[in-house]
A and B are shown apart, each in its own frame.
Chain A
Amino acid sequence: MENPTARAQSGAALPNAYFAPGSSFVDFVRAAAPELLPGNRVVPEGQVGHPPHGTTVVALKYRGGVLLAGDRRATAGNLIVQRDIEKVFPADAYSAVAIAGTAGIALELVRLFTVELQHYEKIHGVPLSLEGKANQLSNMIRGNLELAMAGLAVVPLFVGIDVDSDGTEWPGRIFNYDVTGGRYEEHGSYHAVGSGSLFAKSALKKRHERDVDEDTAVRNAVEALYDAADDDTATGHPDLGRKIYPVVVTITPEHGAVRLSDERTSSVAEAVVAARRDNPGG
C-alpha cells in the first residue's frame, strides 16, 4: 500500500491510486501506470523519420443528425503503409471521433478516449455531457503537446448529439481542435481535418448544406473524400477492386452512433466513382 504508482501485482493488495478520489481514467492511469499514456513518453532528440500518417476525415451536419467519414489510407512519406486503416470510431452511444495525424498516437488516443467516456459513465451512472466529452478530448490532446512539437501531432474531429436538446431539427454538433488542445465548435454545417482537408472543405462548401437528408449527406461526404483523394496523394480513393470503401459513422437521436454497413457505403462509393468517370470534377 506504500507505493502509489505501482501497478497492482498479483499477490499484493491494490495500491492507493485505486482508492483515490476522482473519476477520470486518464488521471488514474497517470498515477497507477504512467507508462501507458502517450504524453508521458520521453521524446528522443532529432527526427523520428516517417511514422505512418492517417489523413482526411470530414464531418457533416444534416437534418436529424451528424456524420463523420474518413478515407482508408495511411502513408509514411511517399509510401502507402495501409490501404484499409480505420480512422473513424464511435466513441460512445451518441458521439464519434476521428483523428488525423500520426496514426500510432491517434489510434492510442481514440482508444484512451473511448475508455475514458465509458469509465466516467460507469463510475457516475450517467454519461458525460457533450461539452464534457469535447473538453475531455481537449485535455488529452493537450497532454500530447510535447510529442506534437517533435512532429508527432494528432488533430481530432469530434461529433455528437446533444441528448438534452430534444426536438431540434439539427441536433448534431461538430468540434474541431488544434495541436495545443484548443477546442472550437463548428457552427457551420461541415468541417474537415487532415492533409486533404483543404480540398474536402472546398468541395463541401459548394456541395453541402445542412438542410439535407441522411442519404444525401453520406453521398456528399464520399464526394468530398473523393475530391480530397483527387488532389492529395495521402488520401485514398474508394478502392472498388479491393472492396475498400470510406468508413462512415452516423449519429441520430433515434439510433445513436452507427457505423454504416459495407453494403451501404459500397453502393454510395460505386455511384460516386461511376459519376466521376465522365465528369472528373464532380
Chain B
Amino acid sequence: MTLPFYTSPEQLMRERSDLARKGIARGRSVVVLTYSDGVLFVADNPSNTLHKVSEIYDRIGFAAVGRYPEFDSLRVAGIRHADLTGYAYDRKDVSGQTLANVYAKALDAVFTERVKPYEVEVCVAEVGSSQENDKMFRLSYDGSIDDESRFVVMGGQAETIRGVLREDYQEGLELAAALRLAVRALGAEVGTGAGSGGAAAPKREISVNQLEVAVLERFRPNRAFRRIPTSTLSTLVEERSGEDASGGPVAE
C-alpha cells in the first residue's frame, strides 16, 4: 500500500501565499488616503464599469485589487453585512472596524480551507468627524489586517508607491493636492515596475481617463460616498501644472 502524498502545512501555506502574492502584484494599484475633508480613493483602473472602489455604507467605502470576481463577492458580502446590521440595530451601529474584522475572518477561512486562496487585497475606510478619526484597514489575502491612519497602498508595486507617499504625504492636504499626490505616486509605480521588458522606464504620466476616483466626504450628510467624474478630475489634476510652475511641492 502506498502512502498518500504528504505536504507539510508550512509548504502548503507558503505555496498559497506565493500564488496570492503573484496574482496581486500583476494587477494595477489603488491608493487610499485621508485628506482634510474626508477619505480619497484613487484607483488605476481603465474600466469605466468594473469598479475597484465602491460604497459600502453611509460613512464606509471599499477599495480592492486583484481578481475581480473574488473581491466583488467580498464587496457584495460587505454591503449585505452592513445593511443587515444597520437594519437589525441602527445605522449608527455599522462600523468600519466590525466590517474589517468580518472580512479578515472570511479571507482567513478561504485561505486555510480552500485549495486556492483569494488573490485580493482589500481596504475598508471609514470617514470620521475629523481627520484623526478617519479609519483605514488593509486586509491581505490571508486575512491579516493592518490599521492605517494616513494612507493605504495595495496591488502592483505597492512598495514603490508607498515610498513616494511616505516622503510627501502631509496631514491636512486639500482634495486637489491629495489627488495630485496620489496620481504622482501611482505614476512612480509604472516607472520602476513596468521595466521588466527593458531598462527602468521614466515615470509615466497617468491620464485621468484611466483613473477611478471617489471620496467619502466628511461634511456630506447621510451617505458620504461620492464618485468624482472624469470631467471634474481633469480640472482638479490640471491645477497641477499651474502649481508646479509657481514653485509648489514638486518631487522628481
Partner of B51, one of A11, A13, A125: A125
A interface residues, how many (CB within 8 angstroms): 25
Task: Say yes or no: A25 contacts B81, CB within 8 Å.
Answer: no
The B46-71 residues at the A interface (CB cut-off 8 A) are 49, 51, 54-56
Chain B residue numbers with a CB within 8 Å of A13 are 105-106, 108-110
Task: Say yes or no: B84 contacts A122, CB within 8 Å.
Answer: no
CA A19 to CA B84, docked complex, whole Å: 14
Task: Say yes or no: A123 contacts B76, CB within 8 Å.
Answer: yes
Task: Say yes or no: A19 contacts B87, CB within 8 Å.
Answer: no
Task: Say yes or no: B86 contacts A115, CB within 8 Å.
Answer: yes
Task: Say yes or no: B105 contacts A19, CB within 8 Å.
Answer: no
Task: Say yes or no: B55 contacts A28, CB within 8 Å.
Answer: no
Task: Say yes or no: B88 contacts A19, CB within 8 Å.
Answer: no
Most buried by A among B87, B105, B110: B87
Task: Say yes or no: A19 contacts B77, CB within 8 Å.
Answer: yes
The A1-46 residues at the B interface (CB cut-off 8 A) are 1, 7-8, 10-14, 17-19, 25, 28-29, 32-33, 36
Partner of B88, one of A12, A28, A36, A122: A36
Task: Say yes or no: B102 contacts A29, CB within 8 Å.
Answer: no
CA A18 to CA B108, docked complex, whole Å: 16
Task: Say yes or no: A18 contacts B109, CB within 8 Å.
Answer: no
- The answer to the question of B147 belonging to the interface, with a C-beta cut-off of 8 Å to chain A, is no
Task: Say yes or no: A19 contacts B73, CB within 8 Å.
Answer: yes
Partner of B79, one of A8, A10, A19, A123: A123
Task: Say yes or no: A8 contacts B81, CB within 8 Å.
Answer: yes
Known: A28-B80, A33-B84. 15 other contacts (CB 8 A): A8-B81, A12-B105, A13-B106, A17-B80, A18-B76, A19-B76, A32-B80, A36-B87, A112-B87, A118-B83, A122-B56, A122-B79, A123-B76, A125-B49, A125-B54
Q: Using known A-B contacts A14-B102, A122-B55, determine if residue A25 contacts B77 with beta carbons closer than 8 Å.
A: no
CA A130 to CA B223, docked complex, whole Å: 21
Task: Say yes or no: A18 contacts B86, CB within 8 Å.
Answer: no
Closest to B103 in A: A14
Task: Say yes or no: A14 contacts B84, CB within 8 Å.
Answer: no
Task: Say yes or no: A14 contacts B106, CB within 8 Å.
Answer: yes
- The answer to the question of B101 belonging to the interface, with a C-beta cut-off of 8 Å to chain A, is yes
Task: Say yes or no: B56 contacts A14, CB within 8 Å.
Answer: no
Chain A residue numbers with a CB within 8 Å of B88 are 33, 36
- The answer to the question of A83 belonging to the interface, with a C-beta cut-off of 8 Å to chain B, is no
Task: Say yes or no: B87 contacts A8, CB within 8 Å.
Answer: no
Partner of A1, one of B77, B102, B109, B223: B109
Chain B residue numbers with a CB within 8 Å of A19 are 73, 76-77
The B207-223 residues at the A interface (CB cut-off 8 A) are 223
CA A10 to CA B81, docked complex, whole Å: 12
Partner of B83, one of A12, A14, A115: A115
8 inter-chain pairs at a CB distance below 8 angstroms, sorted by A residue, are A1-B113, A14-B102, A14-B106, A18-B76, A32-B84, A122-B55, A123-B76, A125-B54
- The answer to the question of A50 belonging to the interface, with a C-beta cut-off of 8 Å to chain B, is no
Chain A residue numbers with a CB within 8 Å of B223 are 118
How near does chain A come to B78, taking the closest CB pair, in angstroms? 9
CA A28 to CA B84, docked complex, whole Å: 9
Closest to A108 in B: B87
Task: Say yes or no: B87 contacts A115, CB within 8 Å.
Answer: yes
CA A123 to CA B72, docked complex, whole Å: 9
Q: Using known A-B contacts A1-B109, A29-B84, A115-B86, determine if residue A10 contacts B101 with beta carbons closer than 8 Å.
A: yes
How near does chain B come to A91, taking the closest CB pair, in angstroms? 13
Task: Say yes or no: A14 contacts B87, CB within 8 Å.
Answer: no
Chain A residue numbers with a CB within 8 Å of B79 are 119, 122-123
Q: How would residues 163 to 190 of chain B score, 1 for a CB under 8 Å from any chain A CB and 0 otherwise?
A: 0000000000000000000000000000
Chain A residue numbers with a CB within 8 Å of B87 are 25, 29, 36, 111-112, 115
CA A19 to CA B103, docked complex, whole Å: 12
The B84-113 residues at the A interface (CB cut-off 8 A) are 84, 86-88, 101-102, 105-106, 108-110, 113
Chain A residue numbers with a CB within 8 Å of B83 are 25, 115, 118-119, 122
The B104-127 residues at the A interface (CB cut-off 8 A) are 105-106, 108-110, 113
Chain B residue numbers with a CB within 8 Å of A119 are 79-80, 83
How near does chain B come to A99, taking the closest CB pair, in angstroms? 17
Chain A residue numbers with a CB within 8 Å of B55 are 122
Most buried by B among A18, A33, A111: A18
Closest to A9 in B: B105
Closest to B112 in A: A13
Chain B residue numbers with a CB within 8 Å of A123 are 76, 79
Closest to A119 in B: B83
CA A123 to CA B78, docked complex, whole Å: 10
